[in-house]
Chain A
Amino acid sequence: MPHHWIPNSSYDIRKKMLEYVGVKDVLDFFNDVPEKLILKEPLKVGYGRPLTEYEVKRVFNNVISKNKLPPIPSFIGGGVCHHYVPSVVKAILSRSEFYTAYTPYQPEIAQGLLQAFFEYQSVMAELYGVDIVNASMYNGSTAAAEAVLMSSRVTKRKKVLISKAVHPEVRDVIKTWCFGAGLEVIEVNYDVSTGETDLKDFESKLSNDVAASLIQSPNFFGVIETKMRRFIDVTHNAGALAIVYSNPIALGVFEAPGALGADIVVGDTQALGNGLNYGGPSAGVLGIKEDKELLRQLPGRLIGMTKTVDGVEKGYMMILQTREQHIRRERATSNITTNSALEAVASVVYIALLGAEGLRRLGEAILGRTEYLIRRLRSVKDIVAPLFANGLYFREVSFKVVGKDLSEVLKKLASEGIYVGPQLSRFYEELPNCSLACVTEVHTLEDIDTLVSKLSEVLGGG
């Protein structure tokens, strides 16, 4: 039956085309398919029949209204948080010259896209303090996994050291990828007083057969790894590569991991005008310092500036493609094909909109709110905040509830329109009754006060 998304399904056109090709029925095109495989019945998909646009909107609205958003911005953390997405970012992302384009394999007709990717690579390199950033990985978790595999190819070693304070789902992803590559993952404990990676444990597990170490700052607990430089130095002393995972939104105020000596930097762009999208998509950042071996092993697409063949004009195109799957096949540096191009564009638009000044102010705005949240939480009886008393926090704060079941507390809060979480016991058995709370530029003083007063109400009341 004809459909408006399928122009040649109209009866007359279909007939005319079949005649031109010289077949009676479209099914004739399938004469090489074993007869018994041809479906005799329509598939049971959708809602039993094609829907009009206004019907599908109604169906969608009925379903999606079962999602609940809190009246004040969510305080849920866990690596991704509610951040503001500027209207400018939405406007540019809705330009269909960009979003309906394919990967720019024909550079002359895709200069605008390529320039946007080039600018993404450039601003990210500046933010992370490295020389080269690729055109994106799927997200922060796969960027970290790619970095780990890459470090093993560069060093020809088969072990990696990963801090337990790194996002648990990032660690899970790395473990799965390492199962494929035949690498061994060694986890390093965190220090219970600071929430930072335990330097002693780190040093004791480091050896000359370790390919790389991975730490995250701010880490999963929201804690800044204050001994970052030390971790990097001892990693280098073992002849291993230092991989640092950082949130780009913190880098307006914090020193770039590259400047602290990291060989490979990774991160995720969720905070940079990307929305939450129930966890994805976002773009994964992966950058390296300028080094021939690292560059040779770099996964993913890379854009470079070049000239026209007559040497007159500048232009952009994909470069060093011999690393990639479509050329190098089983010897490629990664299988990645589709990446997160549009989310990368979102983040460069976002960064352009804020500029150096805006990024600094944003970092401070979040830092200030974090400080305020900690102070207010501290004042609540039956709450241990922050969980790691000697840690320094950014954006996310871990805390513990005493004397009441945290699940009940969070449920009650949610029913009052205050969303907090996730519970740390979901990932850390040894940390029962603990939770994260996240504050960003979207939270006002009143929001944080409401959170804290509701929390003490729930804890205080029977």
Chain B
Amino acid sequence: MTYRQAKWGEPIIFELSKESKQSFIIDDMFKEYANEALSKIPEDLRRKSALKIPNLSEVEVVRHFTRLTQMAYGVDVGPVPLGSCTMKYNPKVSEELANDQRVTELHPYQDEETAQGILEIMYLMQRWLAEITGTDECSLQPPAGASGEFTGALIIKKYHIDHGMHYKNEMIVPDAAHGSNPASSAMAGFKVVKIPTDSDGETDINALKAALSERTAGLMLTNPNTLGIFESKILDIADAIHERKAFLYYDGANLNGIIGVVRPGDMGFDIIHLNLHKTFAAPHGGGGPGAGVVCVKKELKEYLPTPIVDYDGRKYFFRYDLSKTIGRVSWFYGNITPIVKSFVYLASLGPAIREVAEISVLNTNYLLKKLANLKGISLIYGEGRWRKHEFVVSFDKLRKETGVNAEDVAKSLLDRGIHAPTIYFPLIVPEAHMIEVTETETLENLDLIADAYKEIVEKAYVNPEELKKAPKNTSVGRLDAIVANHPNTLAPTYKHVLARK
């Protein structure tokens, strides 16, 4: 596919305009009152020098940012097969409805009686997500997956303390886990114990058993794991964890491959987080906002962050009286607009949600089969296993044979109008490409992606230098990470740029 991204030499907003223009109009009807109030404010608290922010006309602002959007690439532009990120198509009906004034202009402190609509949506989401995960109660408060993990880790910590088990201070995390798992555990004060992956691509159950002790507070796992492989010994793992009076935590980032087919709660997981911006089609927003939901089994319900939404058969209301609550992990009630988008998504699909898992798994294994035998590509883990939501291939062989590495391949995909997958993750796979096409990619695009890979690896063996120069069809060529990160050239703001001139 030919691709040329727009390339605007767009100035930084501070350099956009030579002249000062009439900016967005704010009335001055209260000028005399303002002057009076200003006169009472101590001198040192009043802004003395004018802000160094230009005054622009509306059209300048609109063109500037519209041009910037033309130098971006999202799911609406083409495939974004980022593994672990579940970059599925975001239905437009969800966007339209979540932008309803009755959502966007609703104040979090208005009387519950005047917010029954949103409370009903939140309540139904709590119920539906409990049903999907096989748990009993959910909190919509965490703003993203990582904060859901942190919430879960705090629940585990508080439970153990409440039950006199202060010594339970270790969280076990597989080496293939997402970085936020160990980071969240550490934030909750746990010591992180790392366990390896076996050659079948599963958590090494012997190493896990050896790592267990009375200090074990919990195990954070995702299933299917970050290699896209289902942890087939999950019931044994759950037993081993529970025997130690520890908890099994589910990182729901990979739910897309099993939703409606198996439930983490049934596998023995006690606490689960979901990423509504992955599995439930809320858009990723260029990095956020997302919405994390934490669901737990009955035994842990009283530990959830407050408030949760309840229903007395007549009206919906917030409950603040969970007796063991860990408290608030974030203010108000969660990221409501993504929650509404996911509500619309789930309401639309209903029980057909299982189709999501079936087709995402079909797409994954279809594409894997197309790529598996390409020159220079290997699997490293789990030969012969079906993948679920994603798969990981290694370009280690390609690098050794041609000098072309995973990054070069990624940049070459960009040149072909395809967003690169997640690269160099999980860390246990050298020169990794982690590919997740989700259920929303067409067969034609799967073939297109496969063809692009084929063309790239073949080129690597004849003209590796050309791939090293990629990308050239994006708005800029490959960027210099050393200049970007060096203390002498570090420039995180415009002020730094000026100072360096």
Contacts and interface: CB of A to CB of B under 8 A. Distances in A.
A110 B47 contact: no
Given A60-B344, A356-B51, A308 B476 contact: yes
Contact of A108 (B12, B64, B414, B423): B414
B477 A313 contact: yes
A261 to B, nearest CB: 11
Given A329-B179, A334-B183, A365-B34, A255 B47 contact: yes
Contact of B33 (A45, A136, A368): A368
Interface in B237-286: 258, 260-263, 266-267, 275, 277, 281, 283-286
B97 A60 contact: yes
Contacts of B35: 368
Contact of A42 (B260, B359, B439): B260
B70 interface: yes
A169 interface: yes
B2 to A, nearest CB: 15
10 closest Cβ pairs, A-B complex: A279-B332, A368-B30, A46-B350, A100-B74, A341-B287, A279-B108, A112-B71, A368-B34, A342-B285, A112-B68
Interface in B163-202: 173, 178-180, 182-189, 192
A198 interface: no
A69 B46 contact: no
B457 interface: no
A82 B105 contact: yes
B490 A88 contact: no
Given A100-B76, A445-B29, A32 B232 contact: yes
Contacts of B290: 338
Interface stretch (B203-211, B335-343, B394-402): B335-343
Interface stretch (A320-328, A378-386, A398-406, A449-457): A320-328
A164 interface: no
B73 A179 contact: no
Given A6-B440, A338-B277, 14 more contacts: A1-B355, A8-B359, A29-B365, A43-B353, A88-B62, A101-B72, A138-B335, A179-B157, A305-B484, A335-B146, A335-B150, A342-B287, A356-B55, A368-B30
B80 interface: yes
Interface string A96-129: 1111111111111111110111110111011100
Contacts of B442: 7-8
B10 interface: yes
Q: How large is the interface on A (under 10, 10 to 19, 20 to 34, 35 or more residues)?
A: 35 or more
A106 B62 contact: no
Contacts of B149: 335
Contact of B350 (A50, A100, A125): A50
B10 to A, nearest CB: 7
A26 B492 contact: no
A278 B108 contact: yes
Contacts of A53: 93, 348
Interface stretch (B112-120, B294-302, B373-381, B459-467): B112-120
A108 B471 contact: yes
A252 B131 CA distance: 49
A21 B128 contact: no
Nearest to A322: B485
B75 A100 contact: yes
A330 B69 contact: no
Interface string A5-48: 11111000110111011010011111111100111001111111
Given A97-B76, A169-B331, A342-B288, A33 B491 contact: no
A182 interface: yes
Nearest to A127: B51
B45 interface: yes
Interface in B38-60: 38, 40-42, 44-48, 50-56, 58
B312 interface: no
Contact of B110 (A302, A351, A421): A421
Contact of A98 (B45, B69, B102, B266): B69
A356 B477 contact: no
Given A108-B476, A326-B425, A341-B286, A352 B331 contact: no
A409 interface: no
A64 B329 CA distance: 27
B26 A69 contact: no
Contacts of B356: 6
Nearest to B475: A111
25 contacts: A3-B352, A5-B89, A8-B359, A8-B439, A9-B439, A31-B386, A57-B93, A63-B121, A64-B97, A69-B102, A101-B73, A101-B284, A109-B5, A111-B474, A112-B10, A133-B492, A176-B326, A180-B188, A255-B47, A280-B334, A325-B183, A338-B289, A339-B144, A340-B285, A364-B34
A63 B104 CA distance: 15
Given A5-B89, A46-B349, A112-B68, A304 B192 contact: no
B154 A180 contact: yes
A125 to B, nearest CB: 5
Contacts of B235: 34, 37
Given A92-B66, A254-B45, A279 B331 contact: yes
Contact of B330 (A44, A138, A304, A343): A138
A20 B367 CA distance: 10
A107 to B, nearest CB: 5
Interface string A283-316: 1000000000000000001111111111101011
B319 interface: no
A336 B329 contact: no
A354 interface: yes
A89 to B, nearest CB: 9
Given A337-B146, A365-B27, A105 B422 contact: yes
Interface in B90-133: 90-91, 93, 95, 97, 99-111, 113-118, 120-121, 128, 131-132
